């Protein structure tokens, strides 16, 4: 049955309308959970607030369980879903750069725009820096492209990488999430005793 637009169940003209509606809902949820606050977001690095870890881990686990359950019920065809190609070393270095920016500024790209939407100055400053970084990367991409393309692993998934059933991978990721939640609660209890 799904994906809905590629299979013609929803006209392609609805593509951008659905994207805008999903974006508005996502922004609202981020603001409602406090993700427009740089202190809350940076708290994961300092051990006093693990909301980011819990929300994103939970959303990933719920999404993958939901997709495979819908695939099982023949509502979605997993084989038709687009998988972004993996550029291994570019992703590793880009992730490190984003991590440093996240730690220094207290935002990721999405949460900074959420902060801008409600008028936060630190979000605006971060977003200006983000745009400058995008401009620098775009203008220097021709020089970086050979390195970027050198580690193209194609459209791979964890199922491909480990040659395992997707259901075992989902179970393992769920167990990792539960352990991470318990560990983060333990760390937070220790940090609270020290700082509060």
100, 52: one domain: no
How confident is the model over 140-189, as pLDDT tens digits? 999 999 998 888 999 999 998 899 999 999 999 999 999 999 999 998 88
65, 136: one domain: no
Q: Which domain holds residue 120?
A: 84-156
167, 71: one domain: yes
78, 44: one domain: yes
DSSP string covering 114-146: HHHHTT-HHHHHHHHHHHHHHHHHHHTHHHHHH
| pLDDT of the residue at 193 | 58
145, 168: one domain: no
Count of domains for the chain: 2
> Of 126, 141, 156, which marks where a domain is finished?
156
Under 8 Å between Cβ of 30 and 51: no
Instruction: Output the pTM of the full model.
Output: 0.75
pLDDT confidence tier of residue 68, bands split at 50, 70 and 90:
very high
96, 140: one domain: yes
46, 18: one domain: yes
């Amino acid at each position: 049955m799904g994906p809905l637009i590629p299979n013609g169940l929803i006209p392609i003209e609805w593509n951008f309308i659905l994207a805008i509606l999903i974006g508005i809902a996502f922004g609202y949820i981020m603001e409602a959970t406090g993700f427009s606050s740089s202190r809350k977001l940076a708290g994961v690095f300092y051990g006093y607030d693990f909301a980011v870890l819990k929300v994103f881990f939970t959303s990933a686990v719920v999404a993958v369980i939901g997709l495979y359950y819908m695939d099982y019920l023949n509502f979605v065809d997993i084989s038709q879903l687009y998988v972004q190609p993996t550029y291994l070393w570019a992703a590793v270095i880009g992730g490190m750069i984003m991590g440093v920016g996240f730690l220094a500024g207290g935002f990721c790209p999405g949460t900074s725009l959420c902060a801008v939407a409600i008028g936060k100055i630190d979000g605006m400053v971060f977003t200006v820096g983000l745009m400058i970084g995008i401009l620098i990367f775009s203008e220097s991409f021709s020089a970086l492209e050979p390195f970027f393309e050198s580690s193209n692993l194609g459209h791979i998934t964890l199922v491909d990488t480990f040659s395992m059933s997707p259901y075992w991978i989902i179970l393992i990721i769920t167990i990792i999430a539960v352990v991470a939640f318990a560990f983060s609660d333990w760390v937070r209890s220790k940090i609270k005793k020290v700082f509060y």
